[in-house]
Amino acid sequence: MSVKYSELRKKLKIDVKKPEQSELAYLTHFLHSAENGVADYYRTGADRYAETIVDLVEEPWYQGYLPIKWDVPFPPPENPTFKFIDLFAGIGGFRMAFQNLGGKCVFTSEWNHYAQKTYEANFGEVPFGDITKIDETEIPDHDILVGGFPCQPFSIAGVSKKNALGRSHGFLDETQGTLFFDIARILKHKRPKAFLLENVKNLVSHDKGKTFKIISETLRELGYNIHYRVLDGKYYAPQHRERIVIVGFDKNVFHGNEDFSFPEMSANPPMVMEDILDKQVEDKYTLTDNLWDYLQKYAKKHKAAGNGFGFGLVNFDGVSRTLSARYYKDGSEILIPQEGKNPRRLTPRECARLQGYPEDFKIPVSDTQAYKQFGNSVVMPLMQDVGKSILEVIKEKQLIHVQSPF
């Protein structure tokens, strides 16, 4: 008889409360793979944690819990057809996309513990933390690597801010700029058949193109044939969100001859802002008189100086500006006009819709953290479409099958 994950969660005290709770990562990763060979990567860490929680008997401590009924919004597929890993996972946009395509996630990493909390609430798995502290030999074999490595070192806003503060950006940003090379070391050791990486549009032009040249040359030196394109999320959700998408295929497998193409965008965006807005919204999302007055004066000042800075009032029959992680500060880039009132911010649920997340996606954190999380996320259905194109190439080579690879 199966045990519900929600019951097991209470019994094993699975609750993300602080950074770097690797013991919970080992435990939940093990539970997701307890009935297949991937479990060997996580068994020791899971056993170590279990010893502190449950009374051990002669048979394995987890024996009475299998099979687990995954009563979470987005459970793993019952009959997966391929394996993938989710790096810089955020709140799981890539995971949801690739699970929808029939993939089994066998490893995930995300350093922010608030994002880990949201991830666990939706997938029943706690991500591992800082990827720089995880040896590539500790990561299971997989078919596809996916990851949206941190974009702040390369974004236009991020570079401007760091320049103003006298700080380094790009690869010289010691905290985030070199994380691409953690992807590179994992690719080198694990040799997945393909990968999908995402970053800001400015990555292509950052440092006069030198940054992207290093990235592309590194990937090619690792033996991958790469394809890249700037794609706009507005064709999947009502948000103008341009991102560079990099896809690579192992030359040892495909010999550089893969028939890959990015999904074609429709002639017109299929959704408008009105489609994702709630009819009734709490007053707390309406801007105060002081904040609205400040934003108008700020916009007027920069307009007079010839700058483009300012708030953005949306058109209900159009698409919004790009949602950013700073949205929690004042919501200025995407404001909703209200008749007889000051404009309002989007609610966290509306932000979720703006990134293509379904209604049953759980938001277990504060509004402030939710704004940061959705601002850092991907447009999920766009990534799913790119993933579908990747899988078509792999399936054409008959490298994955209908049967489970476990």
| pLDDT reported for residue 58 | 55
| pLDDT reported for residue 196 | 98
Under 8 Å between Cβ of 379 and 327: no
Domains of the chain with CATH codes: 1-71 (no CATH), 75-268+376-396 (3.40.50.150), 273-370 (3.90.120.10)
Closest CA relative to residue 20, chosen from 86, 91, 112, 147: 112
What Å distances lie between residue 389 and 64, 101, 169, 258, 392, CA to CA?
40, 11, 33, 11, 5
- What are the residue numbers of the active site? 151
| pLDDT reported for residue 404 | 47
- For the chain, 406 residues long, give each residue's pLDDT as a single digit of tens: 689 999 999 999 999 999 889 999 999 999 999 888 899 999 999 999 998 887 655 578 888 888 999 999 999 999 999 999 999 999 999 999 999 999 999 999 999 999 999 999 999 999 999 999 999 999 999 999 999 987 554 444 443 443 443 444 333 333 344 788 899 999 999 999 999 999 988 888 877 788 888 899 999 999 999 999 999 999 999 999 999 999 999 999 999 999 999 999 887 888 999 999 999 999 999 999 999 999 999 888 877 666 666 789 999 999 999 999 999 999 999 999 999 999 999 999 999 999 999 999 999 999 999 999 999 999 999 999 999 999 999 998 876 654 445 5
Q: Which residue has the tokens 């236009």?
A: 156
Q: pTM for this structure? A: 0.91
Residue type, 347: T
Under 8 Å between Cβ of 187 and 222: yes
Measure the CA–CA gap between 133 and 280, rounded to whole angstroms: 46
Under 8 Å between Cβ of 379 and 239: yes
